[in-house]
Amino acid sequence: MISLLNLGSLVLGLIAWILPVVNLMRYKKHDHRNWVALSIISISISACAVSLYFQILYNYHLVKITDWSALMDITDNVTFVASVLLIVTIILNAITLLVYRDKIASRRLK
């Protein structure tokens, strides 16, 4: 049951990356409202946060069962992957926000 935290973390991390990419790919095809882009950004950031929380819960489980060797083995990799997840999610969502902000600004000028 606890191992599902790692799977859930992976799936939510992928969702955090896929949502802004899909939003950027659909940018030219449809006339989106700005609330749709903001909704997708908030869902993406939420998925990233829950993914990181699942990793914290898994580390807590390892501490609770006193599996120090497993904790020492995975800490470096988990820290690196969590940093990459957070940084890429922020960058993708910032790009999405900038693209849609420019679209909204150009719509106001017309």
Give, for all 110 residues of the chain, the pLDDT tens digit. Answer: 888 999 999 999 999 999 999 888 887 766 656 677 788 899 999 999 999 999 999 999 999 999 999 999 999 999 999 999 999 999 999 999 888 886 665 555 55
101: left (phi over 0), alpha (psi -120 to 50) or beta: alpha
Say what the pLDDT of residue 36 is: 75
Say what the pLDDT of residue 31 is: 60
Domain locations in the chain?
4-109
End-to-end C-alpha distance for the chain, whole angstroms: 55
DSSP run (H or E) holding 82: helix 68-109
Taking the model in full, what pTM does it have? Answer: 0.86
